[in-house]
Structure 1
Amino acid sequence: MNPDLRRERAAATFNPELITHILDGSPENTRRRREIENLIMNDPDFQHEDYNFLTRSQR
């Protein structure tokens, strides 16, 4: 996680986890979303460079 984001969340006057559950619809939805995110983030098929930052020959 971005260090700036982590610092801001730690300084919040509200519970960021509660807001996350509200936005996701429920704690179970948050858990499921995070599970899917982890699957994608750890899948080698999704581990590639951002093409916007590659030179023409690297693409």
Structure 2
Amino acid sequence: MNRLKIIPEFKTEEEERAFWKVNDSADYVEWEKAQVVTMPNLKPSTKTISLRLPESLLDDERHRS
């Protein structure tokens, strides 16, 4: 059985992202013991984008609603 490494304390979310970008979570977490969780109050991030679609596709979607 491999000994798991200790996850360091992060000062910022940016620092944490940089850490996980170069480290394998399998060295820090026993994924065999992981459990599924739900986070009903978590709000997804949104970003406005522009898309060009054929008018016929837009019309089809409008009529479905």
TM-score (norm 2): 0.30
Higher helix proportion, which one?
1
Larger radius of gyration: 2
TM-score (norm 1): 0.32
